[in-house]
A = this chain, B = another copy of it.
């Protein structure tokens, strides 16, 4: 992973000039993008949307514990970064649906792999937190 030149602007992006991103480098713009994805609400919203399209309130129920404000902000960031697609249907009342873009799907797939490993490891980790190993 090589550090990119500091903060290239979109105008400087050229598809023929492959941009090397490095999330370890604080000046690399991929760091800020990573931060949006790996916040707990970003992780859970993306993983939920891999299950299918959600309306806002249904997604809020799925991502148990998220506030309306935090979910709205999370979705707004993910939409701005091109990971989530927001579609307003011309019904009365208007119906707003959220889904993953192709890039969002690729990232959410990795997140679900990660969450599955975390869930598999969690029982042992809960025991470690409590300062003891599971008996047996």
A23 at the interface (CB under 8 A from B): yes
**Residues on B with beta carbons closer than 8 Å to the beta carbon of A22:** 119
A33 at the interface (CB under 8 A from B): yes
Given A9-B130, A10-B130, CB of A30 within 8 Å of CB of B122: yes
Contact indicator A126/B29 (Cβ below 8 Å): yes
Q: How many copies does the complex hold?
A: 2
A39 at the interface (CB under 8 A from B): yes
Chain A residues engaging chain B, CB cutoff 8 angstroms: 1, 8-11, 13-16, 18-19, 21-26, 29-31, 33-35, 37-40, 43-44, 47-48, 62-65, 80-83, 103, 106-107, 110-111, 113-115, 117-132, 134-136
